Structure 1
Amino acid sequence: MSGALPVEPAGSAYLDLHADAVALLTGWEPTSPSAAVGRDRTLDLLTAGPSALGRAHRVGHVTASALVLDPTGSRVLLCLHGKLRRWVQLGGHCEPGDRTLAGAALREATEESGIDGLRVDPVPIDVDIHPVRCGGDSAHYDVRFAVLAPPGAVERVSAESEALGWFPPDRLPRPLANATAQLVAPALAALTRATFHRPR
């Protein structure tokens, strides 16, 4: 018997997150016909197992993003993405420490906005699939959430964006990333559910 350590199975760091993603999307009522298609395709992707949550899964991987709202719902926070050169909601890749998709979206929103005390509605508001170049041709199967900022929140630009800005939901900036505007209506609807919290 050799003294070599066993190789960690691909995706084993995402076991909890994979279970959460499958359960969440299986029980989710889509907010639009396109979101229903995105959900079904994402569930198909997840049949590959936990590895579908990591960026090394070249055919595509699940990501999590968030449309951040102020407490009144009169403004949304967007970032001018450094690579895309478009205004987009906050979010990105899942990490091995993430246990839920809502938690991943909240972590990304906190990192990219610099705002402490954000809270997330655990019910997705959209699922969108779009091509990306993550070290080659791939796709993001992006599960999107509404996130609520505390009163008086002050944002700080991160290394991933060139600017952050608050905008009225009916006057979003240009150029705007595809499928960002469609998040506004379901995010505002989430405010009525009053289920925003900080996942454990």
Structure 2
Amino acid sequence: MTLHADAVSTLSRFSGQDALREAYLGFLAAREDACRRSCEPGHLTASALVLDATAEHALLTLHPRVGRWLQLGGHCEPEDVSLAAAALREATEESGMRGLRIEPTPIHLDVHPITCSLGKPTRHFDVRFLVRAPVGAQPVRSAESVDLQWWPLDSLPDNVDDLHPLIESALARLR
């Protein structure tokens, strides 16, 4: 199965955010290159809300280009066989932690305008997954981050208002 076919299958099974899910599926139907960063009108990305083993802390990265604390994630790569695999790869690369476990069904969708590595304004159709870290996991900052920290879910940094729906979706999945 191609990444594009996996994206269609994954989003077809996603429950919630119905209008946005249908917009993603329409974009995928119109663009065979929708999962490639070279797709200038926009492209699917995969991200991971990494929670610690107790589900009391989220691992956030201080993104160098955006200057804000965000969940881990990024562009799909040619070797990614699924959106979940892309999100897990990004979480592993950006956290430096091994043994991460991903929930295979997305927990949240978000479209946002951005000027990414193409140097041109575009949109990211972000598909967000829940990832759990093993007990005692300690992150190691990569070159893709200015900082990397565990944040208590009840004491997040000030500029993360747009992460609250993602965190609420993750906690609802855990209940």
Task: Give the AA of the match of 2:152.
Answer: P
Q: Which residue of 2 aligns with 1:172?
A: 156
State TM-score, norm by structure 1: 0.83
Q: Which residue of 2 aligns with 1:150?
A: 134
1:125 and 1:81 map into 2 onto residues whose CA distance is 22
Q: Give runs of aligned pairs for residues 85-164 of structure 1, distance below 5 A.
A: 85-134=67-116, 135-164=119-148
User: Of the candidates 143, 167, 173, which is equivalent to residue 184 of structure 1?
Assistant: 167
Give the Å deviation of 1:97. 0.6
Give the Å deviation of 1:36. 2.5
Task: Give the AA of the match of 1:22.
Answer: V
User: Of the candidates 25, 30, 36, which is equivalent to residue 11 of structure 2?
Assistant: 25
Give the Å deviation of 1:48. 2.9
Give the Å deviation of 1:21. 0.7
Give the Å deviation of 1:167. 1.2
Residue correspondences, number = 173
Q: In percent, how many aligned pairs have the same letter?
A: 51
Give secondary structure in 2 for the equivalent of 1:47: helix
The reply on whether 1:16 has 2:2 as its aligned counterpart is yes
Give secondary structure in 2 for the equivalent of 1:53: coil
Give secondary structure in 2 for the equivalent of 1:180: helix
Give the Å deviation of 1:49. 4.0
Give the Å deviation of 1:191. 2.8
Segment of structure 1 superposing worse, 62-71 or 165-174 = 165-174
Gaps of 5+ in 1: 1-14, 193-200
1:180 and 1:95 map into 2 onto residues whose CA distance is 24
User: Of the candidates 50, 60, 76, which is equivalent to residue 68 of structure 1?
Assistant: 50
Output one character per residue of 1:68-89: Cα deviation in whole Å (capped at 9) or x when no partner.
0011111111011111110000
Q: Which residue of 2 aligns with 1:197?
A: none
- The higher radius of gyration belongs to 1
Gaps of 5+ in 2: none
1:172 and 1:38 map into 2 onto residues whose CA distance is 26
Give secondary structure in 2 for the equivalent of 1:175: coil
Give the Å deviation of 1:91. 0.3
State TM-score, norm by structure 2: 0.94
Q: CA RMSD in A?
A: 1.3
Q: Which residue of 2 aligns with 1:77?
A: 59
Output one character per residue of 1:145-169: Cα deviation in whole Å (capped at 9) or x when no partner.
0000000101011111111111111
Q: Which residue of 2 aligns with 1:9?
A: none
Task: Give the AA of the match of 1:148.
Answer: R
Does structure 2 retain, via aligned residues, the 8 Å contact 1:121–1:190?
Answer: no
